[in-house]
Amino acid sequence: MKLEIARGLFLVGALAVASLAVAAWEQPRTQVLSSVSSDAHCPLPRAIKASTAAQPDHDLLLLMFGLAQGMRPQS
């Protein structure tokens, strides 16, 4: 096989792989969730009563805050 043909096939293959990678790479967009469309959210299980107020776990909130701070670039 000639070198020019091999280069052409390699270029076509590399472009095909790059285009497939771009097509498969999907990043979620920032969206605002409204309370008007409640059917988009998952319903609560029957075992959970609607009258009980959910209390946030402060340790989990602290962990999430610490992880978010660790993702920032240090300047």
| Cα separation, 63 vs 60, whole angstroms | 5
Q: At residue 28, does pLDDT exceed 90?
A: no
Q: What is the chain's mean pLDDT, rounded?
A: 76
pTM above 0.75, yes or no: no
Q: How far apart are CA 34 and CA 36, in angstroms?
A: 5
* pLDDT above 70 (res 20): yes
Average pLDDT over residues 56-65: 80
Average pLDDT over residues 29-40: 60
Provide mean pLDDT across the span 48-66. Answer: 73
DSSP, res 40: G
